[in-house]
């Protein structure tokens, strides 16, 4: 179970995170409020939270509040919450044909779903000592141990089973807009797939009456039929509605339902998943990021658990809605689909589609729109276009070193990437700001994520030394500063992964106060608390052989959304920003920071 940290630990960690962001006077005030909270109302709330947690052993203390946080948010899901991960191309280039890849990935996705639902999907396990636990013999033995004890057997060999309670929402699921709070809807009985092309909606069954998957050649035939359908794009594409403010969309949805579209919407909501087929090839990585993060708005249904997007040249990616689950569940799905579709593809480029009557099997959904709905779609499109117009995406690849060199120098690769972001922002804006790094707490029942706070007194000191006071420090001193940052970041990461961060705990206490009608404690009304939760630099990393690149929008209007990967011998970084921040310049500063850090670690003298 996810532990509720001790209140004094949380307050201490909170103040450590505040230290680099505040001047002495501000810090004194925040410290006073924090200690007052710890001894007063905070103590009371903490005791209530612990008691409540003890009464709800089937779940975790963060589950309810976290779902609420996502589902009560009224901002559009696109750019604000949905993230993307793009697939690497199929190693066999001729398999990157749109029709071939769409068929193979869909078949692999259905295989994954059936394996999962039949209880045969291998559990997600974190192996601290893979030589002992990630072996066939261990798997054979543990298979025969009753599940109430098997986790203990795994624990004995340092293998930690991860929570998989989110996985069922991958399929047949959608986020339904409702006034004030959305709902998650899942219908596991539905057998059809939703396909979007050119803003048109198509459905066909991919599972038969006996629960078996349609033959791959039939799925291929239906895709071929959809790809060759030359119906014009709809004048009012419905997809834009899923990019609206949630309350606006909830009212428009009610209008759709009252206007005779209940059956069509039900088909959209309950479909296995949404496959978006785009009619253009990808030009470069920036174009790829724009396509997978938001696309054109007409050919996506952002409310589905995920959209599998495949472009004209067979480039594939996933855009996923975030309320139902986190990156780890989507990543596992992506890894399996990539592995299966490349190692055991269902069809080849030479395969002929089955001779079936697709015009009968494939149904094109028609939506009845009144004037209010048409006006609603037009307005949604205008807003969507304006948001996308304001968004910049920039990328860099740093090729002068990566994980291998950093491990050799005994520093944490993740700590170095995070230090480079701190240093870059300091170089660009001469300040240290609230920074967020996501860390999975899936090692616990119904765990979600915890925040690592990469901006620390150590990174601040190191940034100042590299950027402002370079002449005052020898290479050895700079190396020591990097090592200090690495050690501290390692400690924060370990604490977060073990459920010992402070963000979720404070969030849970605040949620409890509000839900019980208690006046919001002064601690939460402190300007410094608001500032710490206004995450200007929001970061996330995921490494996988299946994923080429990932990204998300900034979480605040003056923020940067940083997706990054530290590979064996290079570092990739993808940044989103709005006009108030120069993401391109930030990345140039990141490149310079990485260069400096790597050179110092190699013992070279650097210049400012």
For 50-87, give the DSSP string: HHHHHH-TTS-TTHHHHHHHHHH--S-STTTT-EEEEE
Hey, what long-range contacts does 371-376 have (CB within 8 A, 24 or more apart)? 372/252, 372/255, 373/236, 373/252, 373/255, 373/256, 373/259, 374/236, 376/241, 376/244, 376/248, 376/252, 376/255
d(CA 606, CA 608): 7
Whether residue 590 is contained in a domain is answered as: yes
Look-up of token digits 């579709």: 341
Confidence of residue 152 (pLDDT cuts 50, 70, 90): confident
- Closest by Cα among 333, 337, 293 to 170: 333
Percent helix, percent strand, percent coil in the chain, to nearest 5: 50, 15, 35
- Residue-level pLDDT at 146: 86
Query: What is the mean pLDDT of the segment spanning 499-506?
Result: 98
Asked if pLDDT for residue 40 goes beyond 90, the answer is yes
What would the two tokens of residue 379 be?
């307005």
Number of domains in the chain: 3
Q: Please, which pLDDT band fits residue 507 given cuts at 50, 70 and 90?
A: very high
Residues 407, 368, single domain; the answer is: no
**CATH, residue 505:** 3.30.559.10
Tell me what pLDDT residue 102 has.
Answer: 98
Say whether both 262 and 368 belong to one domain.
yes
Q: Any residues with CB less than 8 A from the CB of 128 and at least 6 apart, and which?
A: 158, 159, 160
Q: Please give the structure tokens belonging to residue 365.
A: 């959904």
| Cα of 362 vs its chain's centroid, Å | 32
- Give the residue from 102, 136, 161 where a domain finishes: 161
Clarify whether residues 421 and 500 are in a common domain: yes
Asked if 333 and 184 sit in the same domain, the reply is: yes
160: pLDDT confidence band, cut at 50, 70 and 90? confident
**74 within some domain:** no
How far is 594 from 401, CA to CA, in rounded Å? 9
If you average pLDDT over every residue of the chain, what do you get? Answer: 96
Predicted local confidence at residue 132, as pLDDT: 85
**Distance of CA 345 to CAs 113, 349, 498, 517, 564, Å?**
16, 10, 39, 56, 30
Q: Do strands 537-541 and 435-440 pair parallel, antiparallel, or not at all (unpaired)? A: parallel
Say yes or no: 157 and 174 in one domain.
no
Distance CA 14, CA 16 (A): 5
CA distance 221 to 219: 5
Note the pLDDT of residue 230: 94
Is residue 282, in this structure, part of any structural domain at all?
yes
Rg (CA), the chain: 25
pLDDT attached to residue 388: 98
- Which residue, of 372, 389, 406, is where some domain finishes? 389
| Spatial separation of the C-alpha atoms in residues 239 and 241, rounded to whole Å | 5
pLDDT band of 147, cuts 50, 70, 90? confident
Is 595 a member of any domain? yes
Same-domain pairing of 287 and 415: no
Position 130 confidence tier, pLDDT thresholds 50, 70, 90: confident
Q: Which residue has better confidence, 365 or 139?
A: 365
* Same domain membership, residue 574 and residue 486: yes
Give CA–CA dist 179/169, Å, rounded.
22
Do the Cβ atoms of 101 and 312 come closer than 8 Å?
Answer: no
Q: Kind of pairing, strands 306-310 and 537-541?
A: unpaired
Mapped onto helix, strand or coil, the DSSP state of residue 456 is coil
> 407 and 352 in one domain?
no
Give domain status of residue 607, yes or no.
no
The whole-number pLDDT of residue 207 equals: 98
C-alpha to C-alpha distance for 181 and 68, rounded to whole angstroms: 8
Active site residues: 322
pLDDT digits (tens, 9 = 90+) for 201-226: 999 999 999 999 999 999 999 999 99
- Looking at the domain assignment, is residue 1 inside a domain? no
pTM of the predicted protein model: 0.96
Provide the pLDDT for residue 145.
86
Return the pLDDT at 215. Answer: 98
State the pairing for strand pair 537-541/547-551: unpaired
Residues 357 and 312 in one domain: yes
The helix (run of H) or strand (run of E) holding residue 209 is none
CB neighbours of 148 closer than 8 A, spacing ≥ 6?
none
pLDDT digits (tens, 9 = 90+) for 347-396: 999 999 999 999 999 999 999 999 999 999 999 999 999 999 999 999 99
CATH for 321:
3.30.559.70
* Terminal alpha carbon distance of the chain: 48
Distance of CA 335 to the CA centre of its chain: 15
The answer to whether residues 49 and 94 belong to one domain is: no
Report DSSP letters for 409-445, one per residue.
TT--HHHHHHHHHHHHHHHHHSS---EEEEEE-TTST
Distance between CA atoms of residues 467 and 423, nearest Å:
7
Q: Are 108 and 341 in contact (CB under 8 A)?
A: yes
Instruction: Look at residues 363, 389, 415 and tell me which one is the last residue of a structural domain.
Output: 389
pLDDT bucket at 526, cuts 50 / 70 / 90: very high
pLDDT digits (tens, 9 = 90+) for 486-502: 999 999 999 999 999 99
116 and 216 fall within a common domain: yes
> Coil, strand, or helix at residue 589?
helix
3-state secondary structure of 540: strand
pLDDT digits (tens, 9 = 90+) for 19-37: 999 999 999 999 999 999 9
CATH number of the domain at 129, please.
1.20.1280.180
Q: Provide the token pair at 266.
A: 């039900």
Asked whether residue 286 falls in the same domain as residue 321, the answer is yes
Tens digits of residue pLDDT in 305-362 = 999 999 999 999 999 999 999 999 999 999 999 999 999 999 999 999 999 999 999 9
Q: Where in the sequence is the domain holding 204, given as residue range(s)?
A: 80-120+169-389
- Token look-up 């174009």 returns 287
**At residue 151, does pLDDT exceed 80?**
no
Specify the range with the lowest mean pLDDT, choosing from 100-104, 146-150, 552-556, 583-587.
146-150
pLDDT at 333: 98
Q: Are the C-beta atoms of residues 187 and 171 closer than 8 Å to each other?
A: no
Q: Residue 138 — pLDDT band, cuts 50, 70, 90?
A: confident
Query: So what's the pLDDT on residue 140?
Result: 86
């Amino acid at each position: 179970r996810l532990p509720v940290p001790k209140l004094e630990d949380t307050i201490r960690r909170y103040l450590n995170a505040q230290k680099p962001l505040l001047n002495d006077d501000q810090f004194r005030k925040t410290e006073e409020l924090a200690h007052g909270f710890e001894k007063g109302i905070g103590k009371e709330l903490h005791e209530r939270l612990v008691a409540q947690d003890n009464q709800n052993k089937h779940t975790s203390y963060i589950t309810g509040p976290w779902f609420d946080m996502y589902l009560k948010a009224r901002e559009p899901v696109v750019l604000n919450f949905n993230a993307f991960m793009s697939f690497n191309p199929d190693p066999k280039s001729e398999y990157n044909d749109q029709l071939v890849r769409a068929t193979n990935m869909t078949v692999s996705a259905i295989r994954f779903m059936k394996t999962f639902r039949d209880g045969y999907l291998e559990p997600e396990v974190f192996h601290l000592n893979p030589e002992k636990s990630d072996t066939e013999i261990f798997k054979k033995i543990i298979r025969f141990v009753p599940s109430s004890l098997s986790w203990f057997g795994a624990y004995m060999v340092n293998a930690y089973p991860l929570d998989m309670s989110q996985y069922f929402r991958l399929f047949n699921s959608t986020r339904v807009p409702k006034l004030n709070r959305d709902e998650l809807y899942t219908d596991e009985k539905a057998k059809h797939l939703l396909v979007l092309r050119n803003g048109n909606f198509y459905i066909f069954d991919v599972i038969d009456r006996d629960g078996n998957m349609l033959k791959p050649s039939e799925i291929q035939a239906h895709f071929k039929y959809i790809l060759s359908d030359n119906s014009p794009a709809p004048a009012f594409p419905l997809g834009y509605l899923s990019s609206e403010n949630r309350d606006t969309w909830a009212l428009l949805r009610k209008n759709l339902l009252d206007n005779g579209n209940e059956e069509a919407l039900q088909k959209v909501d309950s479909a296995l998943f949404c496959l978006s087929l785009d009619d253009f090839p990808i030009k470069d990585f920036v174009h790829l990021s724009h396509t997978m993060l938001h696309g054109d708005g007409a050919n996506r249904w952002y409310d589905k658990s995920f959209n599998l997007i495949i472009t004209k040249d067979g480039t594939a990616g996933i855009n996923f809605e975030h309320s139902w689950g986190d990156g780890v569940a989507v990543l596992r799905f992506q890894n399996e689909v990539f592995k299966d579709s490349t190692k055991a593809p269902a069809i080849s480029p030479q395969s002929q589609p089955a001779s079936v009557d697709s015009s009968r099997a494939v149904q094109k959904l028609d939506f009845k729109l009144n004037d209010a709905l048409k006006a609603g779609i037009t307005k949604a499109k205008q807003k969507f276009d304006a948001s996308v117009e304001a968004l910049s995406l920039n990328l860099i690849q740093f090729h002068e070193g990566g994980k291998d060199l950093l491990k050799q120098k005994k520093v944490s690769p993740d700590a170095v990437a995070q230090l480079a972001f701190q240093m870059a922002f300091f170089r660009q804006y001469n300040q240290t700001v609230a920074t967020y790094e996501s860390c999975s707490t899936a090692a616990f029942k119904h765990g979600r994520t915890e925040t690592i706070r990469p901006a620390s007194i150590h990174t601040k000191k190191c940034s100042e030394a590299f950027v402002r006071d370079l002449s005052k420090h020898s290479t050895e001193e700079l190396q020591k500063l990097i090592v200090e940052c690495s050690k501290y970041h390692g400690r924060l990461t370990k604490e977060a992964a073990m459920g010992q961060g402070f963000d979720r705990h404070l969030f849970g206490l605040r949620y409890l106060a509000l839900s019980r009608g208690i006046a919001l404690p002064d601690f939460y009304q402190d300007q410094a608390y608001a500032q710490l939760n206004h995450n200007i630099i929001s970061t996330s990393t995921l490494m996988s052989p299946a994923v080429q690149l990932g990204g998300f929008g900034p979480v605040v209007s003056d923020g940067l959304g940083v997706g990054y990967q530290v590979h064996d011998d290079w570092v990739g970084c993808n940044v989103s920003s709005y006009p108030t921040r120069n993401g391109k310049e930030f990345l140039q500063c990141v490149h310079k920071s990485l260069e400096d850090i790597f050179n110092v670690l190699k013992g070279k003298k650097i210049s400012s």
